[in-house]
């Protein structure tokens, strides 16, 4: 069976599964729409959380960025996984104990202010919309290549699928759909990695294969990769480059606290019955996430080696453009791979020097998706990868869109402007808001803003500078008042956005041909996508300064902070 037909069948079956689950698990109340009724098992919630969090960035882009950044790409592994530990330890259990539906609702109650709630909604929407642009690109890229449709049509199909199961099922439908999507994406990620690791090293575990010798030789895979890339003028794969120590620290910190402040991930911890279950589901989520994240470095290194060996063989005989392999032709059609015969010799030359390099574009996002084709794996594996990439993008897009719609319907409409509406009206408003969010996200997918090159990392920076500090201070400080919290959120996100827009022309480009240069105008050498860490410091500092010169929080709010931090069993015993 040809690849296109097989891909249609595999992707079609997964879409039918998602839509079937949505019909089965449709929400009948606001509690089911917002938090899936609050009765999800910790293991199931851990799996859904992993799918919610592992977006197209994790599935498609991360290994591609590591493939071209080499050792420096570890910033994404450390930042994103470390952030989940921060979330599990410092935020999730306390927010679950508080027991409300959304992050803005907690901020509004803790800081006893409708204004604080509205500011939190605005910050949430800015972060989530920025993040969802990346998911829409992932959907368009995967569809355009594997279903051989235009980027625009692929995006439209993805919007319809998300619309169907997210609007109908809310959090309940999304939760069970994300469990299915996790199974699809993790199989799609690990099966090709196992095949390629066996082909290159004879070791079935990619994590071990990365540090093994190549089959039939005593040369280590990473040594061969270093040799290949340096001969072509690129930096050694295993050497840190471009990111200074300060920049590396700021980038990692921004990704960590940004992860802990992502509202669509936090909301998942409201779906389990107890505080203990919130901690447990966070642990299970880390287990499920680790399966992909420990595999990603191997996928990156092996993909880079396969790409180099195909385009620039070790024999020194350059590949003729007319004899280029089928995978090359397939990706040229998408525009993500581009060749220009600069010297007119008809040969493909892939060099670090842009004056000589005839591979004028090798998009990071093709590495994971093209790797099975480059390695000549069976068609069913390639079809599975297409389904996995779409599952990753769809699962996170659904979670983000739910966070946006619940902020609009529950926090703004019900919480501020129309508190008298009944549950049925609120549920209708939630579905209308979800539909509107999907249309808005689709528009941004069709017309991405000019800063979209780093949208995913930027979204983490915005969450780090606005939502994370407000939650931390709300849980762990009795002294922060409403004036401090509002001023902190506004200052943090404003500083970060201003810095990003000021430097939008020199956003992150993960291509080794361009690594090594930093703008002299960067503050302390910190690039825009890492500036969320500085924005967070501004947020904390502003909140503390403003709170110290204004009226302290009311007594009952200070008691609320104490109550949130006391373990449930202790509080119950004390009350009796």
* 499-515: pLDDT as tens digits: 887 765 444 433 333 33
In angstroms, rounded to a whole number, what is the distance separating the alpha carbons of residues 321 and 57? 31
| Count of beta carbons in the 10 Å neighbourhood of residue 336 | 18
In angstroms, rounded to a whole number, what is the distance separating the alpha carbons of residues 208 and 566? 43
- Position 450 scores a pLDDT of 45
* Residue reference for tokens 């609009």: 408
Average pLDDT for residues 537-553, to the nearest whole number?
95
Instruction: Write the pLDDT tens digit of every residue in 30-80.
Output: 666 665 556 788 899 889 888 877 777 778 778 888 888 887 777 888 888
Instruction: Write the pLDDT tens digit of every residue in 297-339.
Output: 999 999 988 888 887 665 567 778 888 888 888 888 777 788 8
Domain residue spans of the chain: 3-11+57-66+98-305+374-571
Across 171-175, 194-198, 282-286, 491-495, least confident range: 171-175
**For the chain, percent of residues with pLDDT exceeding 90:** 19
Packed helices 482-502 and 532-548: angle between N→C axes, nearest 10 degrees: 150
Helix then strand then coil, % of the chain, to nearest 5: 75, 0, 25
What's this model's pTM, rounded to 2 decimal places?
0.81
Q: Which two tokens stand for residue 303?
A: 């993909």
Judged against a pLDDT cut of 90, whether residue 425 lies above it is answered with no
In angstroms, rounded to a whole number, what is the distance separating the alpha carbons of residues 500 and 508? 11
- Position 422 scores a pLDDT of 80
> In which band, very low, low, confident or very high, does the pLDDT at 491 lie, cut at 50, 70 and 90?
very high
Across 142-146, 153-157, 283-287, 350-354, least confident range: 142-146
Across 6-15, 76-85, 219-228, 392-401, least confident range: 392-401
Can you name the residues that pair with 337 across neighbouring β-strands? 362
Average pLDDT for residues 179-186, to the nearest whole number?
89
| Fold topology of 3-11+57-66+98-305+374-571 | Sodium/glucose cotransporter (1.20.1730)
> In which band, very low, low, confident or very high, does the pLDDT at 277 lie, cut at 50, 70 and 90?
confident
């Amino acid at each position: 069976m040809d690849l296109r037909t097989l891909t249609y069948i595999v992707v079609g079956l997964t879409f039918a599964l998602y839509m079937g689950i949505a019909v089965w698990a449709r929400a009948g109340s606001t509690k089911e729409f917002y938090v899936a009724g609050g009765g999800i098992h910790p293991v199931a919630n851990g799996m859904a959380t992993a799918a919610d969090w592992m977006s197209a960035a994790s599935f498609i882009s991360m290994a591609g960025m590591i493939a071209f950044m080499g050792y420096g790409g570890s910033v994404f592994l450390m930042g994103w996984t470390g952030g989940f530990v921060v979330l599990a330890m410092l935020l999730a259990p306390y927010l679950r104990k508080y027991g409300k539906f959304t992050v803005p609702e907690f901020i509004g109650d803790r800081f006893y202010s409708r204004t604080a709630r509205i500011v939190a909604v605005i910050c949430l929407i800015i972060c989530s919309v920025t993040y969802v642009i990346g998911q829409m690109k992932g959907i368009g890229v995967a569809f355009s290549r594997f279903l051989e449709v235009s980027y625009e049509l692929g995006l439209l199909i993805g919007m319809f699928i998300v619309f169907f199961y997210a609007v109908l099922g809310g959090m309940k439908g999304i939760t069970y759909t994300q469990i299915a999507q996790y199974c699809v994406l993790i199989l799609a990620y690990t099966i090709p990695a196992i095949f390629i690791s066996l082909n290159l090293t004879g070791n079935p575990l990619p994590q071990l294969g990365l540090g093994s010798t190549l089959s039939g030789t005593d040369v280590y895979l990473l040594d061969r990769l270093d040799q290949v890339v340096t001969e072509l003028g690129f930096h050694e794969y295993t050497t840190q480059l471009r990111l200074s120590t300060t920049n590396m620290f700021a980038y990692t910190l921004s990704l960590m606290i940004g992860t802990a402040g992502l509202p669509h991930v936090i909301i998942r911890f409201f779906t389990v019955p107890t505080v203990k279950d919130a901690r447990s589901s966070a642990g299970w989520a880390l287990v499920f996430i680790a399966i992909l994240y420990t595999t990603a470095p191997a996928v990156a290194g092996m993909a880079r080696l396969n790409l180099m060996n195909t385009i620039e063989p070790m024999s020194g005989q350059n590949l003729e453009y007319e004899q280029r392999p089928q995978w090359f032709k397939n990706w040229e059609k998408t525009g993500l791979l581009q060749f220009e015969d600069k010297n007119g010799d008809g040969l493909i030359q892939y060099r670090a020097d842009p004056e000589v390099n005839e591979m004028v574009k090798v998009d990071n996002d093709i590495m994971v998706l093209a790797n099975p084709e480059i390695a000549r794996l069976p068609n069913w594996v390639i079809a599975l990868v297409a389904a996995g990439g779409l599952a990753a993008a769809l699962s996170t897009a659904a979670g983000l869109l739910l966070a946006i719609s619940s902020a609009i319907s529950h926090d703004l409409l019900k919480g501020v402007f129309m508190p008298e509406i009944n549950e049925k009206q609120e549920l209708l408003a939630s579905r209308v808001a979800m539909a509107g969010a999907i249309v808005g996200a689709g528009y941004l997918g069709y017309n991405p803003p000019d800063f979209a090159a780093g949208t995913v990392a930027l979204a983490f920076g915005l969450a780090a500078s606005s939502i994370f500090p407000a939650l931390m201070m709300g849980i762990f400080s009795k002294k922060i008042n409403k004036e401090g919290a509002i001023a902190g959120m506004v200052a943090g996100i404003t500083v970060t956005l201003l810095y990003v827009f000021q430097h939008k022309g020199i956003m992150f480009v993960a291509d080794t041909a361009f690594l090594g240069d930093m703008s002299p105008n960067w503050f302390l050498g910190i690039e825009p996508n890492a500036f969320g860490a500085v924005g967070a410091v501004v947020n904390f500092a502003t909140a503390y300064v403003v709170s110290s010169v204004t009226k302290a929080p009311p007594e009952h709010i200070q008691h609320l902070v104490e109550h949130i931090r006391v373990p449930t069993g202790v509080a119950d015993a004390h009350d009796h």
